């Protein structure tokens, strides 16, 4: 008796081959000339008349032959698919992580689906930004965001004032020049907020996804090792369909 994973491998190849052959037959049946033939012989009226060789065109495609051939192919495909689907009804396994049963008796088909979802989830989580490590962050319960401690920075304003380059004398007036200075006019208090994840949190999530994905894959392999009893359903179905 074959294992389910063996049947799955056979089914994939069988599907491709059967589909290809049925397509070729379908195309052949769409060409009336291949289903048509003739045989011609010539009989002259007089002994002195010209002789002509017989002409013949063979029928290359016979619809009933095609039906029988299609039937054999479908029987093969239906039987292998039925064996897979009946086995899938019994193919189950537990998902176990570190000795803890996360799922009991999960069907192989669901495990395959779950494995794909965990792959997508891993991609999703891997792209989540993390908090800037150059800052010190704390979680703020009131906003559900991370924030930094307040940082004060001075706000300045450029102002111009004159300076005396040369004092006035009896002969010359004083010489002055305008210079620009930064004058402190206030203080900014900045608190940064972020919706990103702490790097350790993200790493822990990815690790749990990895461990669960490994457990699911192991469970799927276990489920797919279930015995797959042979199911001969194709002949019964084709006997009805092609009953003359």
User: Per-residue confidence of the chain (244 residues) as pLDDT tens digits?
Assistant: 678 888 888 888 999 999 999 999 999 999 988 889 989 998 988 888 888 999 999 989 888 889 889 999 999 999 999 988 888 888 999 999 999 999 999 999 999 999 999 999 999 999 999 999 999 999 999 999 999 999 999 988 988 888 877 787 877 887 888 888 888 889 999 999 999 999 999 999 999 999 999 999 999 999 988 888 788 888 888 888 877 6
Give me 160's structure tokens: 């111009």
Report the run of H or E that residue 26 belongs to, with start and end.
helix 4-29
Can you give the residue range of the structural domain that contains 128? 94-144+194-223
- Whether residues 132 and 206 fall in one domain: yes
CB 186 within 8 A of CB 155: yes
Question: Does residue 175 form part of some domain?
Answer: yes
Return the pLDDT at 114.
Answer: 96
Instruction: Supply the Cα-derived Rg of the chain in whole angstroms.
Output: 42
Return the pLDDT at 30.
Answer: 92
Question: Does residue 48 form part of some domain?
Answer: no
Return the pLDDT at 105.
Answer: 94
Torsion angles phi and psi, residue 46, rounded to 5: -120, 155
In the three-class reduction of DSSP (H, G, I as helix; E, B as strand; rest coil), residue 133 is classed as coil
Opening angle at CA 205, ends 218 and 146, nearest 5:
175
Q: How many domains does the chain have?
A: 3
Question: Does residue 109 form part of some domain?
Answer: yes
User: Order of strands across the sheet with 193-194?
Assistant: 138-140, 145-147, 193-194
Return the pLDDT at 152.
Answer: 93
* Cα separations in angstroms, 3 against 38, 76, 131: 52, 17, 49
CB 130 within 8 A of CB 198: yes
- Whether residues 87 and 201 fall in one domain: no
Return the pLDDT at 178.
Answer: 85
Phi and psi based region of residue 86 (left: phi greater than 0; alpha: psi -120 to 50; beta: remaining):
alpha
- Whether residues 184 and 162 fall in one domain: yes
């Amino acid at each position: 008796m074959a294992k389910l994973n063996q049947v799955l491998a056979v089914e994939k190849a069988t599907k491709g081959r059967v589909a290809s052959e049925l397509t070729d037959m379908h195309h052949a049946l769409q060409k009336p000339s291949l289903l048509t033939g003739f045989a011609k012989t010539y009989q002259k009226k007089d002994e002195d008349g010209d002789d002509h060789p017989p002409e013949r065109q063979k029928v290359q495609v016979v619809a009933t032959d095609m039906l029988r051939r299609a039937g054999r192919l479908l029987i093969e495909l239906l039987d292998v698919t039925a064996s897979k689907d009946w086995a899938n009804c019994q193919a189950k396994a537990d998902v176990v992580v570190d000795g803890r049963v996360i799922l009991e008796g999960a069907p192989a088909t669901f495990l395959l689906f779950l494995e794909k979802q965990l792959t997508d989830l891993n991609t999703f989580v891997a792209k989540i930004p993390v908090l800037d490590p150059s800052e010190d962050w704390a979680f703020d319960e009131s906003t559900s965001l991370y924030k930094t401690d307040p940082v004060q920075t001075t706000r300045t304003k450029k102002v111009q004032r004159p300076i005396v380059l040369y004092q006035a004398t009896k002969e010359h007036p004083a010489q002055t020049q305008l210079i620009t200075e930064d004058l402190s006019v206030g203080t900014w208090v900045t608190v940064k907020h972020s919706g990103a994840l702490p790097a350790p949190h993200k790493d822990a999530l990815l690790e749990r996804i990895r461990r669960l994905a490994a457990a699911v894959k192991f469970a799927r392999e276990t489920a797919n090792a279930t015995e797959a009893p042979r199911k001969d359903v194709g002949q019964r179905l084709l006997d009805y369909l092609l009953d003359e």
